[in-house]
């Protein structure tokens, strides 16, 4: 006996639409799953999860002022240093090596080792393109004075004026077409920067360091009036006075005022002025019960505070 095939494959191949008739349910099902997955993870699918949003630390891109020793910028005569000479160019070449090569490169092409990491590239001195302040001596002087801080060109305002002119003459040897300054351009430099007078530049430290030092200073500071008083006292008599002052004062902050008022008074006047109205000036009433010896100690302590306050 021959059984009929359960699935008639030949028949199915002849009429493939019937095959679809059986499987569309599975496609629907899979489509449904994909759809559900998409909707459920909509938040993460639409975002690039590999680069999480990080707020930049402002300390990384806000430049602090550098540590600088105070300096006297020696006076120069602008009509002398403003004129190029072999000795100025030679001097400038040396200064260029130590100050500028790291960014502007050995040959002033703007390809120094630090340049690679900079978004705004250091100027190529061989090209006349893109100069912001300009290529005249007077304009480059301004660049060195102020820097172009937004793009990473530092200020060289602590470099002596004569050295700056030497560097300028040197970098102007990189191309033949540097524009010439008129006499009035140079005299303008003198007018703006008083080059013939020289400049006294104050020392400066980075703001961050200053804040740290200040915080340290504050945490080292005597914290309580007690500590303040005993730190002021240098003899046992004064120390005793400091203790008494702590005991008999109602308002420790006012003691210093009392100390100031003790100035020029002898012991008797001092006792009188305190006992006449102790409460108002920050003492407790018990101050009236001090022994002579204790008054003595208190007096010598407060006049010592007074002395130190003045100095």
Side-chain-side CA neighbours of residue 106 (13 Å): 0
State how far the Cα of 168 lies from the Cα of 176, in Å rounded to an integer: 14
The per-residue b/e assignment along 34-53, b for 16 or more CB within 10 angstroms, e otherwise, is eeeeeeeeeeeeeeeeeeee
Query: Residue 171 interacts with ligand HEC (CB under 6 A)?
Result: yes
Our CB check for ligand HEC shows the closer of 41 and 114 to be: 114
Candidates 141, 156, 178, 301: give the one binding ligand HEC (CB under 6 A).
Answer: 156
Our CB check for ligand HEC shows the closer of 138 and 249 to be: 138
Structure tokens at 19: 């095959």
Query: Residue 153 interacts with ligand HEC (CB under 6 A)?
Result: yes
State how far the Cα of 272 lies from the Cα of 283, in Å rounded to an integer: 13
Candidates 71, 93, 148, 225: give the one binding ligand HEC (CB under 6 A).
Answer: 148
State how far the Cα of 164 lies from the Cα of 144, in Å rounded to an integer: 7
Q: In angstroms, what is the minimal distance from the CB of 207 to ligand HEC?
A: 20
Scan for tokens 């970098």, then name that residue: 171
User: Could you tell me how many residues of this chain bind ligand HEC (CB under 6 A)?
Assistant: 25
Stretch touching ligand HEC by CB under 6 A, among 23-31, 141-149, 177-185, 264-272:
141-149
Count other Cβ atoms within 10 Å, centred on residue 175.
Answer: 14
Give Cα separations from 42 to 30, 45, 46, 47 (angstroms).
18, 5, 6, 9
Q: Which of residues 90-129 bind ligand HEC (CB under 6 A)?
A: 99-100, 102-104, 114, 118, 120, 122-123
Q: Which residues bind ligand HEC (CB under 6 A)?
A: 99-100, 102-104, 114, 118, 120, 122-123, 131-134, 140, 143-144, 148, 151-154, 156, 167, 171
């Amino acid at each position: 006996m021959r059984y009929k095939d359960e699935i008639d494959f030949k028949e199915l191949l002849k009429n493939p639409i019937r095959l679809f008739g059986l499987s569309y349910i599975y496609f629907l099902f899979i489509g449904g799953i994909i759809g559900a997955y998409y909707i459920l993870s909509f938040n993460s699918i639409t975002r690039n999860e590999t680069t999480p949003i990080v707020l930049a630390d402002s300390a990384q891109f806000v430049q602090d002022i550098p540590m600088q020793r105070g300096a006297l910028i020696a006076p120069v005569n602008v009509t002398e240093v403003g004129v190029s000479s072999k000795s100025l160019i030679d001097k400038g070449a040396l200064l260029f090596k130590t100050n500028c090569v790291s960014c502007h490169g050995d040959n002033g092409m703007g390809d120094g080792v630090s340049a690679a990491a900079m978004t705004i590239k250091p100027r190529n001195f061989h090209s006349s393109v893109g100069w912001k302040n300009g290529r005249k001596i007077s304009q480059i002087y301004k660049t060195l004075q102020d820097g172009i801080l937004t793009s990473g060109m530092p200020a060289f305002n602590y470099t002596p004026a004569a050295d700056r002119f030497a560097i300028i003459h040197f970098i102007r040897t990189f191309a033949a077409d540097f524009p010439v300054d008129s006499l009035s351009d140079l005299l303008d430099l003198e007018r703006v920067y008083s080059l013939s007078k020289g400049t006294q530049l104050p020392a400066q430290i980075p703001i961050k360091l200053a804040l740290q030092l200040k915080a340290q200073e504050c945490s080292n500071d005597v914290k309580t009036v007690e500590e303040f008083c005993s730190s002021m006292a240098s003899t046992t008599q004064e120390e005793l006075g400091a203790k008494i002052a702590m005991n008999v004062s109602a308002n420790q902050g006012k003691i210093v005022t009392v100390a100031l008022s003790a100035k020029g008074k002898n012991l008797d006047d001092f006792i009188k002025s305190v006992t006449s109205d102790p409460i108002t000036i920050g003492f407790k009433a018990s101050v009236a019960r001090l022994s002579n010896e204790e008054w003595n100690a208190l007096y010598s302590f407060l006049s010592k505070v007074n002395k130190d306050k003045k100095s």
